[in-house]
Amino acid sequence: MDPATATTIDGLNLFAMLGTVLWHLLRIGAALQVLPMIGGRGMPMRARLILAVALSATISTVLPEPPRAAVDATTVLSVFREMTVGVAIGLVLRLAFEAGQFAGELISQGMALSFATLADPLSGASSTVLSQWFFLIFGLLFFTLDGHLALVTLLVDSYAALPIGTPLADMQGFLAALPTFFGTCLRAGLLLALPVMMALLASNLAFGVLSRAASAMNPIVVGIPVALVTGLVLLALVARELQGPIQQLLEDAFLAARALTA
């Protein structure tokens, strides 16, 4: 084989490999874009791009090659389908983190910390300090429980359940998976915040009764510091018991994400 022919063959193989990586990058990149901790504005764009390309190139070596695609409407629909599946997978895992932020918002109301806000790196908006605290707890437990490895396994299994170019067989089930898990996240966030909320409610009711009995006492001046200290003590106690509920919620999130491609 002459050098010119060998160079041409190597170039064709390189373009075929790049095409395979790009096909996998559609789903993986879309998932990483909306994932918490890894995607979003909390991570630089170049770092996200490098991570997505590296992960796509690695996964493409253990998966069958995608079918050859022509420049037509079918290919365009396949591109949108891959991006939709990736966004749906990432959104399910992001909803699990939103449950923690929802719990932080509820607790902040009773602790008089609703005015203490920070910039949220995920959405770019402002959120309370306790919401950020719960977000960091969720993120630490996500990596501690090898959630990032489970995420890679989930992405690989999604190609086995829904290969590239395969239409979504059950659109109704695909569209119903996200609203169902959204209700689960709301319930989980409420249950996480409920013990602290009830204790703070009892504390506020007690100071309300005292303010009626002793009209000279200012309930705001005395009640807010007591509610703040009580909330911090309760959060320190609750933090020791968060691993079980958060682990169960993350497991439910991965199960819901698998149901999207089932």
Encode pLDDT of 194-253 as tens digits. 888 888 888 778 777 777 766 666 666 666 777 788 888 888 888 888 888 888 999 988
Burial 205-244 (b: 16+ CB within 10 A, else e): eebeeebeeeeeeebeeebbeebeebbeebbeebeeebee
Q: Is residue 173 part of a domain?
A: yes
Domain that holds residue 105: 74-260
Structure confidence at residue 16 as a pLDDT band (50, 70, 90)? low
The answer to whether the pTM exceeds 0.95 is no
Using alpha carbons only, give the angle 46, 52, 58 rounded to the nearest 5 degrees: 135
Q: Is residue 18 part of a domain?
A: no
Q: Is residue 118 part of a domain?
A: yes
Q: Is residue 199 part of a domain?
A: yes
Distance CA 128, CA 105 (A): 7
pLDDT at residue 123 greater than cutoff 80:
no
Q: Is residue 49 part of a domain?
A: no
Q: Is residue 22 part of a domain?
A: no
pLDDT at residue 117 greater than cutoff 50:
yes
Q: Is residue 248 part of a domain?
A: yes
Position 9 scores a pLDDT of 41
**Coil vs helix vs strand at 216:** coil
Encode pLDDT of 128-138 as tens digits. 788 888 888 89
DSSP state for residue 240 in the 8-state scheme:
G
Q: Is residue 51 part of a domain?
A: no
What's the total number of domains in the chain? 1
Burial class (CB in 10 A: 0-12, 13-18, 19+), 68: exposed
